[in-house]
Homo-oligomer: A and B are copies of this chain.
Amino acid sequence: MGPIRNSTPKSSGRVGAGVISNGIHNYERTKARRRAYRKKMQGEFDEPLRRFLSEKKRMPSFAELMEIWNYRTKSAVHYRIQELADRGVIRKDGTGRIVPLRLEKGTRLLGVVEAGFPSAAEEELLDVMNFDEFLTPNKESSYILKVKGDSMKDAGIQPGDMVIVERKNNYKPGQIVIAMIDGEYTMKYLRKRGEQHYLEPANSRYKPIFPKESFKIEAAVTAVVRKY
């Protein structure tokens, strides 16, 4: 049958000698059908791969791809793999093994609220993103804290939120920082008046804190995460 596969396995493959194929066609209609079919198929090559990757946390071997894609030979897989590599979905490393490129699934980016929700056809075009990389590019120096108290309320940080903080070498005024001041940890805006640094809450019910003895900034807040 050629390119249209994934139908019943037995009907695929070459036609035996002596079988006369029907030569009558409506070519235009056939052509259109095939285009649509192939577009659909493309997704049906990628999708099982995605599933395998997220389940097994590794790429399948050619033998496994034979089963996944319903092929009877590895050479057919080889052909398909070449096509996926050309499309940039996967890549081959030095030893021939395949590595994923655009297979990890992310969450779809929709833009501003007014944009409206996409139809199934538009889905493909949406940008995707991975939160782990986005929120903690420097995993080594990042920590997660749970917020207690409402002193940063007007900055949109509520009790129960999680903040991602990062240890750095120097901290700039205007940043929200975690500081050890007079023996206690606290999260506030870092401000500077003249040469003196001080801490300012984002809540009119609290007053700025001017350090008396010890004053050490431990980390800067790089992100806020809240889950309902």
Residues of A participating in the B interface, judged by any CB pair closer than 8 Å: 56-59, 93, 97, 99-100, 105-117, 129-132, 134-136, 139, 142-148, 153, 156-158, 161, 164, 167, 175-176, 178, 184-187, 218-219, 221-228
Contact = CB atoms under 8 A, between A and B. Distances in A.
Contacts of A222: 227-228
Report copies per complex.
Answer: 2
A30 B218 CA distance: 38
Contact of A130 (B58, B132, B134, B219): B132
Given A99-B58, A131-B131, A112 B219 contact: no
B226 A156 contact: yes
A113 to B, nearest CB: 5
Given A56-B99, A145-B112, A148-B112, A175 B228 contact: yes
A108 B139 CA distance: 8
A57 B136 contact: no
B218 A223 contact: no
Contacts of A112: 145-148
Contacts of A108: 142-144
